[in-house]
Amino acid sequence: MGNDAGHAFVAGHYAARAQDYVSSTTHSTGADLDQIEALLREVGHGADVLDLGCGGGHVSFRAAPHVARVVACDLTPSMLDAVASEARTRGLDNIEVRQGAAERLPFADAAFDLVLSRFSAHHWLGFEAGLCEARRVLRPQGHAVFIDTISPASGLLDTTLQSIELLRDASHVRNHTLADWVAALARAGLPVESVTPRRLPLEFAAWIARTATEALRVQAIRSLQATAPAEVRDYFRFSEDGSFEIDTACFVCRAG
């Protein structure tokens, strides 16, 4: 599947689910958002900010009060419509929306002081291409912050996570390891200044509802959980109702 077809698939996959992501507690709260807001209080005054893969817009909503302008960019038009509507409701008139793919951003070189991306990169068809594009549109000495779900280094744990993610969401591409991230960011010209690892609890019913996961796929996920070795069950903390925990990381980078 080429990038254009792949991008169309992702956009179509999320077209009916935009409001679910705007209202998602998992996406609208978290210490990672607090970390972004703290950075923006320090360096955001007068800044132009790109929210790359904006989803439900929660990074944009946190950023807007501290910066001059936020451009919320996503593949899915209905997601952008939902973000624009919510921004109007909140009175955040410095948020604008723009459709685009991470691997081919519709912006000029050095257009932004900060690039922020949260829970988006595991959907990118071209992970390193997206990072290179983030660097291209970032001004010299600008900050980039990437937050995403992270795969464990263990092959067994990685295989389990990728399987569960793909069963739940057909648009999933890959959760990358922390080492993969650091190396790819360096190659893209975005050396990492700090990494903050976290654990993210996922309530199973809400997790599958957001992606409207088919019953057969839900059954397969639960079967994988039930038959997993003890090492896997303990690491992800699988519970009786299917809820579990995964790793995330926040990478703060500075362009040269």
Q: Which CATH number do you get for residue 9?
A: 3.40.50.150
Query: Residue 85: inside a domain, yes or no?
Result: yes
Q: Is the confidence at residue 199, as pLDDT, over 60?
A: yes
Who's near 234: CB < 8 A, 6+ residues apart? none
Residue 61, Ramachandran bin (φ over 0: left; ψ between -120 and 50: alpha; else beta): alpha
Model confidence at 256, pLDDT cuts 50, 70, 90, reads confident
Query: Residue 182: inside a domain, yes or no?
Result: yes
Query: Residue 69: inside a domain, yes or no?
Result: yes
Query: Residue 214: inside a domain, yes or no?
Result: no
Return the pLDDT at 75. Answer: 92
Query: Residue 148: inside a domain, yes or no?
Result: yes
Which residue has better confidence, 256 or 194?
194
Report the alpha-carbon distance of residue 187 to residue 204 in Å, rounded: 36
Model confidence at 23, pLDDT cuts 50, 70, 90, reads very low
Query: Residue 227: inside a domain, yes or no?
Result: no
Domain containing residue 55: 3-153+171-201+246-254
Both tokens of 42, joined, read 């320090």
Return the pLDDT at 209. Answer: 92
How many separate domains does the chain show? 1
Q: Are 113 and 49 in contact (CB under 8 A)?
A: yes
Return the pLDDT at 245. Answer: 98
Query: Residue 160: inside a domain, yes or no?
Result: no
Query: Residue 62: inside a domain, yes or no?
Result: yes
pTM: 0.91
